Amino acid sequence: MSKKDTMYESEHTKFIRELKEKTPGMEERQQAGRALLWDKAPISLDEQRRLNESRLRQQAYPYQTKL
């Protein structure tokens, strides 16, 4: 491979790099948003057991009417 091939940068990569340069703090806001939606605090074993015991069982085919 020549040096020219190893220096290739796709248009998408260029766009993301330029966007990050134009908007400082974007990555921090992304991480904060991820933490808000996805990162959850760990649940204790007692709390996990209580949640599992209180969960209602769903019938195999929920649209079937009982006759």
- Read off the tokens for 12: 């998408």
6 Cβ contact list (under 8 Å, min separation 6): none
Q: What is the mean pLDDT of each run of 10 residues along the chain (67 residues)?
A: 73 94 93 88 91 85 74
Q: Is residue 47 part of a domain?
A: yes
Q: Which residues are within 8 A (CB) of 51 and not within 5 positions of it... i.e. 6 or more apart?
A: 43
pLDDT number for residue 65:
74
Q: Which domain holds residue 49?
A: 8-54
pLDDT of 31 reads 92
Q: Is residue 35 part of a domain?
A: yes
Asked whether residue 2 is domain-assigned, the answer is no
Q: What is the pLDDT of residue 6?
A: 76
Tally of domains in the chain: 1
Residue 1 domain-assigned? no
- Please report whether residue 16 resides in a domain: yes
3 falls within a domain:
no
